Amino acid sequence: MKQLHNWRRLDGSPVRQDIRDEIRSVLVKEKANGHELKVCIGTDSQVKAGITEFATVVVFIRKGKGGFMYILPERTSQKMSIKERMLAEVAKSVDISYQLCRLFTLYGVDMEVHADINTNPGFRSNDALREAMGYIMGMGFVFKAKPHAFASSSCANKVVQ
């Protein structure tokens, strides 16, 4: 089933086709240009005036040649605890990863799922670490948490601030 969401590029231009079709086109083009790619997928969120804003990003790294990303912003007024919000972020990242992983495998692109969860037990987000790690790794994906989770803690974070 084709799903059109409000995906956009970093420059703000909208993606006018299904994200899987967009990513397939990008993979063909990047491979034809001889780029070695790695993909990192992550989500971050911020609560502002009772509205939770999420941003899920698909970050492409051209090894030694920079990178680019796609962004899916979402909003909800649903109230969530910090742990629920962290796990909602992870669920959004896993969902997108699952939709795209066959393409990445087909084109030989390594993929990681990044969680904006602190590995230091002194931080409240740490309450969700075990569940997030189990969920991501249980789906067969490579898991990264802070401080190595730049897709969620840096890239997605800049979108929701």
Is position 103 within any domain?
yes
Domain hosting 69: range is 8-160
| pTM score | 0.92
In total, how many domains does the chain have? 1
Task: Convert the pLDDT of each residue in 79-97 to its tens digit.
Answer: 999 889 999 999 999 999 9
Looking at the domain assignment, is residue 131 inside a domain? yes
Tens of pLDDT, residue by residue over 12-40, are: 999 999 999 999 999 999 999 999 999 99
Instruction: State the CATH number of the domain containing residue 100.
Output: 3.30.420
Asked, for residue 140, whether it belongs to a domain, the answer is yes
Position 1 in a domain: no
Q: Can you give the chain as a three-state secondary structure string?
A: CCCCCCCEECCCCECCCCHHHHHHHHHHHHHHCCCCEEEEEEEEEEEECCEEEEEEEEEEEECCCCEEEEEEEEEECCCCCHHHHHHHHHHHHHHHHHHHHHHHHHCCCEEEEEEEEECCCCCHHHHHHHHHHHHHHHCCCEEEEECCCHHHHHHHHHHHC
Question: Does 89 reside within a domain?
Answer: yes
The answer to whether position 3 is within a domain reads no
